[in-house]
């Protein structure tokens, strides 16, 4: 019993955080709906303005510039270990990858002969395994061909499988620091579910990790301690075991978040018309 208590205390200490005196800085504003933040090792933040068909780049000291126009409703974004950009295009209903020269490659647009619903969020494991969600919101519902909302896995060889076929809508997606667990927000059920991942990228053991989230869970990220940051009513911070630590109140309802800065010690939050930055006392899990 003493050993169990010591292990619990050690886990609690490892996940402990100080949320006092957080300074929320608005770094960019004037957009229609921001989403898909991701930090580049080259020193800038990328994010999408979905209604305006843009992928934008914010660089400290320089401000915002356009990276990609006519982005086909770009939503979630992610980098891989080679620096290639993966994007969920909600309007063309596909997942694409862009290289350093700006050349696009289609990775996914159909499953079992039917068009995807509207790919939403995406994450890439260090070894090249790709995971993305495929819900449908608003008018996207009217053009669905699939009779489920999927969570998908694409292997480094390009093989694609559905690891979940839900009747409720998946949204944000993230990996644990060691890449052995996959977290998926379920917007309709206001949950975060978790899967175990093996070395080949296969998923198993689906279960509910967090239930009863206040607000509609959207994007999520993980820090180096395994804590989860869920964009919902605010940014709700949970331990790796699913215990609520704190909710960071935001000036606008957040849609997604990403760790950034050269030391990965800042949390960038996309929230409707603006993008915000918060310095934390913990670093994000480096996803690539």
The pTM (predicted TM-score) of the whole model is 0.93
Alpha-carbon gap, residue 256 to 172, rounded angstroms: 8
pLDDT of 158 over the 70 cut? yes
Per residue in 55-75, pLDDT (tens digit) is: 999 999 999 999 999 999 999
19-279 to CATH, choices 2.120.10.30, 1.10.443.10, 3.90.1150.10, 3.20.10.10: 2.120.10.30
Q: What is the mean pLDDT of residues 254-272?
A: 97
Strands 235-238 and 244-248: antiparallel
Q: In this predicted model, what pLDDT tens digit does every residue of 9-30 receive, in sequence order?
A: 444 444 557 788 899 999 999 9
CB atoms near residue 177 (< 10 Å): 16
**How far is residue 220 CA from its own chain's centroid?**
5
State the pairing for strand pair 266-271/256-260.
antiparallel
> For 127-154, what is the mean pLDDT?
94
- Is pLDDT at 251 greater than 60 in this prediction? yes
Give me the residue spans of the domains in the chain: 19-279
Question: Quick one: pLDDT at residue 18?
Answer: 77
Which residues have C-beta within 8 Å of that of residue 227, sequence separation ≥ 6?
Answer: 15, 17, 237, 238, 239, 240, 245, 282
Q: How high is the pLDDT of residue 16?
A: 57
Across the chain, mean pLDDT equals: 93
Task: Measure the CA–CA gap between 225 and 227, rounded to whole angstroms.
Answer: 6
Mean pLDDT score, 246-259? 98
Residue 6 pLDDT greater than 50, yes or no: no
- Quote the pLDDT of residue 9: 41
- Proportion of the chain above pLDDT 70, given as a percent: 94
Q: Could you read off the pLDDT of 169-190 as tens digits, one per residue? A: 999 999 999 999 999 999 999 9
Q: Residue 141: what pLDDT? A: 83
* d(C-alpha 180, C-alpha 196), whole Å: 6
- Output the pLDDT for position 288: 63
Residue 39's nearest CA partner among 83, 89, 105 is: 83
Q: What is the pLDDT of residues 32-60, one digit of tens each?
A: 999 999 999 999 999 999 999 999 999 99
What's the pLDDT score for residue 2? 38
Contacts of 211 (CB under 8 A, 6+ apart): 189, 190, 191
> For residue range 73-113, what is the model confidence (pLDDT) as tens digits?
999 999 999 999 999 999 999 999 999 999 999 999 999 99
């Amino acid at each position: 019993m003493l050993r169990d208590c010591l292990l619990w205390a050690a886990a609690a200490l490892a996940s402990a955080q100080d949320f006092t005196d957080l300074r929320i800085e608005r770094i960019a504003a004037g957009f229609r709906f921001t989403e898909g933040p991701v930090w580049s090792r080259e020193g800038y933040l990328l994010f999408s303005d979905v209604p305006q068909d843009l992928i934008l780049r914010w660089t400290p000291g320089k401000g915002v510039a356009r990276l990609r126009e006519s982005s086909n409703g770009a939503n979630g974004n992610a980098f891989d270990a080679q620096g290639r950009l993966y994007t969920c295009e909600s309007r063309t209903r596909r997942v694409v990858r862009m290289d350093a020269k700006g050349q696009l490659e289609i990775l996914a647009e159909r499953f079992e002969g039917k068009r995807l619903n509207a790919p939403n969020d995406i994450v890439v494991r260090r070894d090249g395994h790709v995971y993305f969600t495929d819900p449908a919101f608003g008018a996207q519902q009217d053009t669905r061909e699939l009779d489920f909302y999927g969570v998908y896995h694409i292997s480094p060889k390009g093989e694609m499988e559905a690891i979940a076929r839900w009747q409720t809508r998946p949204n944000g997606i993230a990996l644990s620091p060691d890449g052995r667990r996959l977290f998926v927000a379920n917007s309709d059920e206001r949950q975060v579910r978790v899967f175990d991942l093996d070395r080949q990228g296969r998923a198993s053991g689906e279960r509910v990790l967090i239930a009863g989230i206040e607000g509609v869970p959207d994007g999520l990220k993980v820090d180096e301690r395994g804590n989860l940051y869920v964009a919902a009513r605010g940014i709700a911070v949970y331990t790796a075991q699913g215990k609520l630590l704190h909710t960071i109140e935001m000036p606008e309802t957040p849609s997604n978040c990403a760790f950034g800065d050269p030391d990965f010690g800042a949390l960038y939050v996309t929230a409707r018309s603006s993008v915000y930055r918060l310095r934390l006392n913990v670093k994000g899990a480096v996803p690539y």
